[in-house]
Amino acid sequence: MAKDEKKEDAKPEKADAKAAAEPEAKAEKKTAAKKPAAKKPAAKKPAAKKPAAKKAPAKKAPAKKKEEPAVEVHKGEEPKKKPAAKKTTKKKEEAPSEEPKKKPAAKKAPAKKKEEEAVPEGEVIETVDEKTDIKVTYTVKPLFGKYTFSGVVVHNPGLQRYINIEPVSIPHTGARHANRPFAKQHMNIVERLINGMMRTGHGTGQKAKMYRVVEEAFDIILARTKDNPIQVYIDALCNSAPKEEVTRLRYGGINVPKAVDVSASRRLDIALRNVCRGAVQSSHKNRKRLPQTLANEIILASKRDISSFAVGKKDEVVRIAASAR
């Protein structure tokens, strides 16, 4: 009997458990049945999310803009450090900038040597004062501001003493050596050419005019020969200076020609006179101007051309002297 009671008691418990489980199962079924209904709108949501996905790029752009300021902030921080690096570089650059300033001082010396070789600015001359015996150095500008006497050589040893090639910028002494014996050898050879060109009524006393004529003639010589006009002019004098002349000796009422040697000073005077005379005569009744005829006479005489007036006169005098020996 007790077992039957226990079975009866267990049955109601099972019945109660089933009754309690049934509403729970029904609730689960209802929720399961409702969940698909909830999923349907979830399926529709993706359709609503698609426009949201299209709008996403528009949202990403502002997101990038937000990131850019963050990058700019980092960039703004880096320049703060870079100025410090630039300052150090400036300091490093300032140190070498001071060093090259010292180096040019050593490089200036060779630059001056090159200028002295080309001689565009002037020549340095060292002399000794006769009264005090002190060395004096000074610079002389080029002749006419263009030509220098450096490298000029007198090839004729007999005329070296009387051809003055000391550097001078303006060949004008104001008759300092006039009326003094053998004072012409102290006058610059270019000034003697200017004085020799003051011939005939058109040039007498007009030294400024002849100064310009000689300057223009030297420019023409440089353009035609590509050599230093002073050297060409000195070569012309050496080639047109005669070594012999003819004099006349009288024997009992008879004149006899006799060949004699010529002094160096007179040789130079004759050469200068013939060069100037040839230039002036060739410009007479000629379309060529005086500077052109003077340049042509100097160039021809420097080449020992017979067509030169000075060289022709020299050859004539030497020929007569040879026949009168």
CATH number at residue 156: 1.10.455.10
Task: Kindly tell me the burial class for residue 299, based on how many C-beta atoms sit within 10 Å of its own C-beta (0-12, 13-18, 19 or more).
Answer: buried
Decide if pLDDT at 146 tops 70.
yes
pLDDT of residue 203: 81
Please compute the mean of the pLDDT values over residues 235-248 and round it to a whole number.
93
What whole-number distance in Å separates Cα of residue 160 and Cα of residue 162? 6
| Token duo for residue 16 | 């109660």
- Assigned domain for 141 exists: yes
Residue that wins the pLDDT comparison between 128 and 1 = 128
Closest CA to 192 of 159, 225, 155: 159
Give the DSSP letter of residue 142. P
Residue that wins the pLDDT comparison between 309 and 58 = 309
For the segment 191-228, what is each residue's pLDDT rounded down to a tens digit?
A: 999 999 998 777 888 889 999 999 999 999 999 999 99
Closest CA to 304 of 246, 209, 235, 212: 235
For the segment 89-103, what is each residue's pLDDT rounded down to a tens digit?
A: 444 444 444 455 555
Decide if pLDDT at 11 tops 60.
no
Name the band, by pLDDT with cuts 50, 70 and 90, for residue 67: very low
Residue that wins the pLDDT comparison between 166 and 47 = 166
- Assigned domain for 88 exists: no
- Assigned domain for 264 exists: yes
What whole-number distance in Å separates Cα of residue 103 and Cα of residue 96? 11
pLDDT of residue 101: 52
Do 272 and 196 contact (CB within 8 A), yes or no?
yes
Instruction: For residue 56, count other CB atoms closer than 10 A to its CB.
Output: 12
Name the band, by pLDDT with cuts 50, 70 and 90, for residue 230: very high
Number of domains in the chain: 1
For the segment 154-164, what is each residue's pLDDT rounded down to a tens digit?
A: 999 999 999 99
pLDDT of residue 171: 87
Task: Kindly tell me the burial class for residue 267, based on how many C-beta atoms sit within 10 Å of its own C-beta (0-12, 13-18, 19 or more).
Answer: buried
pLDDT of residue 90: 46
Instruction: For residue 235, count other CB atoms closer than 10 A to its CB.
Output: 22
| Claim: this prediction has a pTM higher than 0.85 | no
Contacts with 114 (C-beta within 8 Å, 6 or more apart), sequence order: none
Which of 14-23, 140-149, 200-209, 254-263 is the most confident on average? 254-263
Report the residue count for the chain: 325
Do 297 and 233 contact (CB within 8 A), yes or no?
no
Name the band, by pLDDT with cuts 50, 70 and 90, for residue 48: very low
Task: Kindly tell me the burial class for residue 169, based on how many C-beta atoms sit within 10 Å of its own C-beta (0-12, 13-18, 19 or more).
Answer: middle
Name the band, by pLDDT with cuts 50, 70 and 90, for residue 263: very high
Name the band, by pLDDT with cuts 50, 70 and 90, for residue 114: very low
Q: What one-character-per-residue DSSP string does 31-80 give?
A: HHHHHHHHHHHHHHHHHHHHHHHHHHHHHHHHHHHHHHHHHHHHHHHHHH
Decide if pLDDT at 53 tops 50.
no
Tell me the angle at which helices 207-225 and 189-196 cross, rounded to the nearest 10 degrees: 120
Residue that wins the pLDDT comparison between 33 and 302 = 302
Contacts with 234 (C-beta within 8 Å, 6 or more apart), sequence order: 152, 153, 154, 163, 165, 189
pLDDT of residue 133: 79
- Domain region containing 310: 123-323
Task: Kindly tell me the burial class for residue 238, based on how many C-beta atoms sit within 10 Å of its own C-beta (0-12, 13-18, 19 or more).
Answer: buried
Do 232 and 221 contact (CB within 8 A), yes or no?
yes
As a whole number, the mean pLDDT across the chain is 75
HEC letters along 243-304: CEEEEEEEECCEEEEEEEECCHHHHHHHHHHHHHHHHHHHHCCCCCCHHHHHHHHHHHHHCC
For the segment 287-314, what is each residue's pLDDT rounded down to a tens digit?
A: 899 999 999 999 999 999 999 999 999 9
- Assigned domain for 72 exists: no
- Assigned domain for 47 exists: no
Decide if pLDDT at 128 tops 50.
yes
pLDDT of residue 286: 87
Closest CA to 293 of 237, 204, 225, 214: 214
For residue 55, the Cα-to-chain-centroid distance in whole angstroms is: 68
